[in-house]
Structure 1
Amino acid sequence: MSTNIERFKAIVERGFSQGDLSVADEICDTKLIEHQYLARADLPGPQILKAQIEDARRSIKDLKFTVEAIVESGDTVWARGKATGVDPRSGKAVTIDVMDVCRFANEKLVEHWGVPDRFALLHQLGALPPPPS
């Protein structure tokens, strides 16, 4: 992998869409700083990403994550993507938007902010009232 965009896409495609945890060992710095709400920040860098991949794939069956827009500015990659799959409890198909900001240094992911649209997920599962019409 030669660019930070390619590194990010590897996390999305190999990690989240395919469940390949080895991508975390290849790309994450051991001192990764994680800012995503509810992420396990008490683990060493690669283990943080592995836990996120496992949690996401457990929460959404047949998870597929696609990058819809991406830009690199200096050492930072900004991406908007879409996660699709099936809620394992209800069997309902779900789709959520995800925003990611990843800072890289020395070809390693050193800092991450992730914002999955959890409200959209809760609406799709019926846990929140439908939006007003």
Structure 2
Amino acid sequence: MSTNLELFKAIVERGFSQGDLTVADDVCDEKLIEHQYLTRTDLPGPQILKAQIEDARRSIKGLRFTIEAIVESGDTVWARGKASGADPRSGKPVSIDVMDVCRFANGRLVEHWGVPDRFALLHQLGALPPPPNRM
């Protein structure tokens, strides 16, 4: 049986970085509780994660997800990472921070909170005004 850290790393590496949707079948509970804003929750657990992977890889071409800090506490994994790649429309490089909290039970992902920095993505794409001059 894999540890919770290994399961989380598989989601990041196989799923988000490589686009391997089968990772969702390997790690998700059918009754996964999803808390990430704008994520579909009307699907069985593995399908939720598959949709997240597909959406992320559609939003950032050549998506690479790097774990920058990770902590396991009891049944929960807390992680901070960096998602990088290119805007699929312009080809412009983009990079955003992502925070994830994943709760596991019996070797399965049962609950997830995710916070991708969508404001940073919008700013890098020119969809938000530049920050005010701070002189």
Match of 2:111 in 1: 111
- Report the TM-score when normalising by structure 1: 0.98
Match of 1:101 in 2: 101
Q: Tell me the C-alpha RMSD between the 2 structures.
A: 0.7
User: Unaligned stretches of 5+ in structure 1?
Assistant: none
State the Cα distance separating 1:2 from its structure 2 match.
2.1
- May I ask how many residue pairs the two structures share in their alignment? 133
Q: % of aligned pairs identical?
A: 86
State the Cα distance separating 1:6 from its structure 2 match.
0.7
- Report the TM-score when normalising by structure 2: 0.97
Match of 2:19 in 1: 19
Q: Matches of 2:105 and 2:91 in 1, distance apart?
A: 41
Q: Matches of 1:6 and 1:131 in 2, distance apart?
A: 39
Match of 1:53 in 2: 53
Q: Matches of 1:85 and 1:106 in 2, distance apart?
A: 34
Match of 2:130 in 1: 130
Runs (4+) of structure 1 exceeding 3 A deviation are none
CA deviation string 1:61-105 (max 9, x = no partner): 000000000000000000000000000112110000000000000
Partner letter of residue 65 of structure 1? F
1:66 and 2:66 aligned: yes
Match of 1:38 in 2: 38
User: Unaligned stretches of 5+ in structure 2?
Assistant: none
Partner letter of residue 25 of structure 2? D
